[in-house]
C-alpha cells in the first residue's frame, strides 16, 4: 500500500518528538556508564542483538507467518528498547540507570544491526528477487530520524538543564499520545484485515514478547547479575521501540509496507500488559531486599 503525504510527514515528526524526549533525559555520563556496568551492558547487548533476532526467527518460522508479517516481526526484534522501558523498570524497582545506558547504546548500535537483520529477513521470508529497499545506505536516513533528535535533546539538557527539565514531562506525555496515534493509525490502515492479522500474528507476537522478557530476565540471572539489573534488562529487551519499527515499515522512503507495520503495532498493545504483570511479579520479589543495588557489579 502506498502512503499518503500526511503519513509520510507525520510519522517522522512523531518519531522525532519521541526521540527528542529521550534525548532530554540523556547525558554523556549515560554512555560513560558502560565502564561502570561492563558485564551488565554486554549481557543486555548480547540479548538485544543476538538472542532476540534468533528467538524472533524461531517464532516466525514456528508459527509459519506470512512473509510480510514475518519480516515485520523481525523488524521489531531489531528495534532498540524505548524510553517506556525506563518507566516500567522504575516501577518494578529495576536499575533505571542501566536502562538509560542500554537505551542510549542500543539506539546507536541499531543503526548498523537493524538494516542487516531486516535485509536478512526479507531475503529469507520473501522472494530472493524481491528488492531490498532498506539497504545499508539507508542507515543515514534512520540516523536522521533517530539520533539527530536525541542529539538535540542532549544538547538542550547539557546547556539548559532547567529548560530540559521543564520540557521533559510534557514531551513524555506528548510521546505517549503520539505512540497511541501511530499504533492506532497502523491498525486502522489495515482494519479490513485486522481480525485475520490478529489470528495470524497475535499469538506469535505474544510468544515473542514472553521470550524477550524471559531471556532479558533469566539470562542475566544465570550469569550472576543482581536482580535489579536483571529486571532492567528484562524490561529493556521486552519493551521494544514499536514506533520506530512502524515508522520504518510505513515510510515511503524505507520499506513502504503497512502490512509489515502490523506485528509491531500488535506487539505494542501486548507488551504494556505483559510488562505490567512482569513488573508486579518481580517487584514483589525485590521489595523485601534491603541492600542497595550493586551498581558497580561486573
Q: Residues 119, 123, 128, 129: is their CA dihedral positive or negative?
A: negative
Q: Dihedrals φ, ψ of 252, to 5°?
A: -60, -25
Say what the pLDDT of residue 291 is.
Answer: 42
> What does the pLDDT read at residue 53?
93
CA-nearest of 52, 26, 36, 41 to 245 is 52
Determine, yes or no, domain membership for 56: yes
* CB distance 37 to 168 below 8 Å: no
CA distance 161 to 158: 6
Q: How many domains does the chain have?
A: 1
Task: Answer yes or no: is 99 within a domain.
Answer: yes
Whether residue 294 is contained in a domain is answered as no
Taking residues 205-209, report their average pLDDT.
94
pLDDT (tens digit per residue) in 227-248: 989 999 999 999 887 877 887 8
φ, ψ (nearest 5 deg) of residue 2? -85, 145
CA atoms within 13 A on the CB side of 268: 28
What residues have CB less than 8 Å from 32, skipping those under 6 apart?
Answer: none
What 3-state class would DSSP assign to 216?
Answer: helix
Q: Which letter does DSSP use for residue 258 in this model?
A: S
Mean pLDDT for all residues in the chain: 78
Is 288 a member of any domain?
Answer: no
pLDDT at 150 over 80: no
The strand pairing partners of 240, in sequence order, are 81
Confidence check: pLDDT of 71 > 60 = yes
Residue 289 lies in a domain: no
Answer yes or no: is 295 within a domain: no
Three-class secondary structure assignment of 156-170:
HHHHCHHHHHHHHHH
First-to-last C-alpha distance (Å) of the chain: 48
CA-nearest of 269, 249, 52 to 180 is 269
Inter-residue contact 254 to 134 (CB < 8 Å): yes
In a domain, 279, yes or no: yes
How far is Cα of residue 240 from the mean position of the Cα atoms in its chain? 2
Structure confidence by residue, pLDDT tens digits, 98-139: 887 887 788 778 777 888 888 889 888 987 545 555 555 555
Is residue 155, in this structure, part of any structural domain at all?
A: yes
Q: Which residue has the higher pLDDT, 288 or 81?
A: 81
The whole-angstrom separation of Cα 278 and Cα 275 is 5
Higher pLDDT: 198 or 224? It is: 224
Give the containing element (helix H, strand E) for 49.
Answer: none
Cβ count within 10 A of residue 55: 20
CA atoms within 13 A on the CB side of 40: 33
Domain enclosing residue 138, as ranges: 5-283
Q: What is the mean pLDDT of residues 57-81?
A: 91
* Contact between 265 and 193 (Cβ < 8 Å): no
Quick one: how far is CA 3 from the chain centroid? 23
Domain harbouring 30, CATH code: 1.20.1530.20
Confidence of residue 30 (pLDDT cuts 50, 70, 90): low
Amino acid at each position: 500500500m502506498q502512503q499518503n503525504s500526511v503519513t509520510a510527514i507525520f510519522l517522522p515528526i512523531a518519531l522525532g518528538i519521541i526521540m527528542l524526549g529521550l534525548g532530554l533525559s540523556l547525558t554523556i555520563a549515560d554512555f560513560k556508564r558502560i565502564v561502570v556496568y561492563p558485564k551488565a551492558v554486554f549481557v543486555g547487548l548480547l540479548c538485544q542483538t543476538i538472542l532476540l533476532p534468533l528467538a524472533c526467527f524461531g517464532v516466525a518460522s514456528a508459527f509459519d507467518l506470512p512473509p510480510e508479517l514475518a519480516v515485520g516481526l523481525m523488524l521489531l526484534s531489531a528495534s532498540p528498547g524505548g524510553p517506556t522501558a525506563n518507566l516500567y523498570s522504575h516501577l518494578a524497582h529495576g536499575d533505571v540507570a542501566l536502562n538509560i545506558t542500554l537505551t542510549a547504546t542500543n539506539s546507536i548500535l541499531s543503526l548498523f544491526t537493524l538494516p542487516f537483520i531486516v535485509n536478512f529477513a526479507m531475503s529469507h521470508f520473501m522472494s530472493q528477487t524481491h528488492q531490498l529497499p532498506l539497504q545499508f545506505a539507508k542507515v543515514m536516513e534512520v540516523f536522521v530520524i533517530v539520533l539527530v533528535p536525541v542529539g538535540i535533546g542532549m544538547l538542550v539538557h547539557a546547556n539548559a538543564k532547567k529548560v530540559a527539565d521543564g520540557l521533559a514531562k510534557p514531551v513524555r506525555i506528548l510521546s505517549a499520545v503520539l505512540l497511541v496515534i501511530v499504533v492506532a493509525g497502523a491498525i486502522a490502515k489495515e482494519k479490513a484485515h485486522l481480525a485475520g492479522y490478529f489470528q495470524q500474528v497475535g499469538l506469535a507476537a505474544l510468544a515473542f514478547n514472553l521470550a524477550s522478557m524471559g531471556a532479558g530476565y533469566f539470562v542475566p540471572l544465570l550469569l550472576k547479575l543482581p536482580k535489579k539489573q536483571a529486571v532492567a534488562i528484562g524490561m529493556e529487551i521486552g519493551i521494544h521501540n514499536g514506533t520506530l519499527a512502524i515508522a520504518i515499515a510505513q515510510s515511503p522512503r524505507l520499506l513502504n509496507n503497512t502490512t509489515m507495520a502490523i506485528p509491531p503495532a500488535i506487539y505494542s498493545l501486548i507488551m504494556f500488559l505483559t510488562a505490567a504483570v512482569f513488573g508486579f511479579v518481580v517487584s514483589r520479589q525485590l521489595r523485601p531486599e534491603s541492600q542497595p543495588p550493586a551498581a558497580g557489579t561486573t
